[in-house]
Chains A and B, each alone.
Chain A
């Protein structure tokens, strides 16, 4: 009996070691924090629009369609790298792509869009970052998928790449069925 107990620390240590090793080899980003907003209603907001004279009312913009919400800024380098993927989303007619321009100079933002192309159907101006805080954003670019019912289904921190593009697309297709 006593001898068996002596093995216990060794067993526990091996288990801890295995756990650490497992976490090391699986595909995950340790600095990414899961969103508490998942499966909850999207945070409603009202602000100026970068593209239109009328105010940006989230209640009006988010309806009946799956909405891709992308927090971006002209000063954000990763936003330029993910731009082509956002552009590809805008070709999909089953969804709506909404941009939220985070702490940016409107003139610079418009110039940035002119240069790279505008993938957004409308853009909300988040001048002081208050909207981003309500969405739990901590580093742009961040991308959210909101279901036609207004539920946040997915959040990605960092630039959208090929893998994330496919992941988001599969969610969109599920919604469309």
Chain B
């Protein structure tokens, strides 16, 4: 009886481990074969940019992973801009001019986003201060 339980626990752990690590193996990409550029260097650049661009439809995916039609259109535009010899910054500008900063997965460091970047640190400092002062008192 004990032995049987032991085996089922083991199986349970193995299954859990498989599910835990699944996301690391199952890297899904939205890029389709017909989109890929022949020049590997340029293709890598396109992939790099796509990873930073938000899919406006799925919103929490990059266009590199998304299979939404708009994501595909944007991937194709990025590649054609790279072929035209446009710099990365110019491509990002092209996209933010149309879709705003929201299209960038990482919010840019600007005056309007200062709070977004610094508030966590401020809260952390306040938290540490409160905990420390509380500890001193209880001692």
**Residues of A participating in the B interface, judged by any CB pair closer than 8 Å:** 2, 5-6, 8-9, 12, 31, 33-37, 103, 128-130, 133-136, 138-139
Contacts and interface: CB of A to CB of B under 8 A. Distances in A.
A51 B129 CA distance: 69
B32 to A, nearest CB: 15
B127 interface: yes
A5 B133 contact: yes
Nearest to B127: A9
B124 to A, nearest CB: 12
Interface of B: 56-57, 59, 69-70, 73-74, 77, 96-100, 102, 123, 126-127, 129-130, 133-134, 137
Contacts of B134: 6
A161 to B, nearest CB: 21
B56 A138 contact: yes
Given A2-B137, A129-B70, A35 B100 contact: yes
Contacts of B130: 5-6, 8-9
A128 B56 contact: no
A6 B73 CA distance: 53
Given A138-B56, A139-B57, A133 B73 contact: yes
Given A8-B126, A12-B126, A139-B57, A33 B100 contact: yes
B70 A36 contact: no
Contacts of A136: 98-100
Given A9-B126, A36-B96, 8 more contacts: A6-B130, A9-B130, A12-B126, A31-B59, A130-B73, A136-B100, A138-B56, A139-B56
Contacts of B96: 36
Contacts of A133: 70, 73-74, 77, 98
A136 B99 CA distance: 5
B138 to A, nearest CB: 11
30 contacts: A2-B137, A5-B129, A5-B130, A5-B133, A6-B130, A6-B133, A9-B126, A9-B127, A9-B130, A12-B123, A33-B56, A33-B99, A33-B102, A34-B100, A36-B97, A36-B98, A36-B99, A37-B98, A103-B69, A128-B73, A129-B70, A129-B73, A133-B73, A133-B77, A134-B98, A135-B98, A136-B98, A138-B56, A138-B99, A139-B56
A36 B97 CA distance: 7
A138 B66 CA distance: 14
A160 B59 CA distance: 23
Contacts of B100: 33-36, 136
Nearest to A1: B133
Contacts of A33: 56, 99-100, 102
